[in-house]
A = this chain, B = another copy of it.
Amino acid sequence: MHQYYQTLRLLASQASISATEWEWFVNATTVKHIPSGVTIVQSDHEVYHAYFCTNGLFRLYYTLPDGREYNVAFTLENDFATSYGAMISGSTSMYTIQAMEDSTVIEIPYTALQVLMDRSHNWERFVRTAVERLYIRKEERERELLYLTALERYQAFLVKYPGLEKRIPQYHIASYLGISPVSLSRILHSCD
């Protein structure tokens, strides 16, 4: 089981989290295998857990009023998949998080996270820096949508999610870029 915790253990060490503080975390969390297509967070539902993806792939998507789905982000290996705002505010999630491959996550109950932060300055720091990374990504995404052309957004996608273009259907990339699959196809041919 401990193989799944390796990357998080490294991140925790960098935040000066001690062996004892780390054990608290391991004891409070669960490794879960999520088959492709299954959702771990459902829009309009409350959120009681954060997830760290140790392998596999997730998409975070909004369901628009007309029924279309809009991919707002992806989570690859060694990254958090979470509806953080809903979890901490007790409101319902605005988006759904769904496995796009058979995946494995570490499930972190929010109540456990609160206890860890209460008991340990180091865990408080760990969470603070994790939230900062979430925030910076939202700023970057905002900037991309304001400044970049569709082609530039595609290039930014390739850099942000290395190799992902080979793992998911093109229509999911188009949805993330905010363009139609036909427009994406045109961009890809212009790159040949």
Chain A interface (Cβ < 8 Å from any Cβ of B)? 62, 64-65, 70, 72, 84-85, 88-89, 94, 117, 121, 124-125, 127-128, 131-132, 134-136, 138-143, 146-147
Selected from B70, B88, B127, B134, the residue in CB contact (under 8 A) with A146 is B70
Chain B residues with CB under 8 Å of A147's CB are 62, 64-65
CA gap between A89 and B137 in the complex, in Å: 12
Chain B residues with CB under 8 Å of A139's CB are 85, 94, 138
3 tightest A-B contacts by CB? A121-B121, A128-B128, A138-B138
| A83 shortest CB reach to chain B, Å | 9
In the complex, the answer to whether A135 meets B84 with C-beta atoms within 8 Å is: yes
In the complex, the answer to whether A135 meets B124 with C-beta atoms within 8 Å is: no
Q: Which of chain B's residues has its CB closest to A149's CB? A: B65
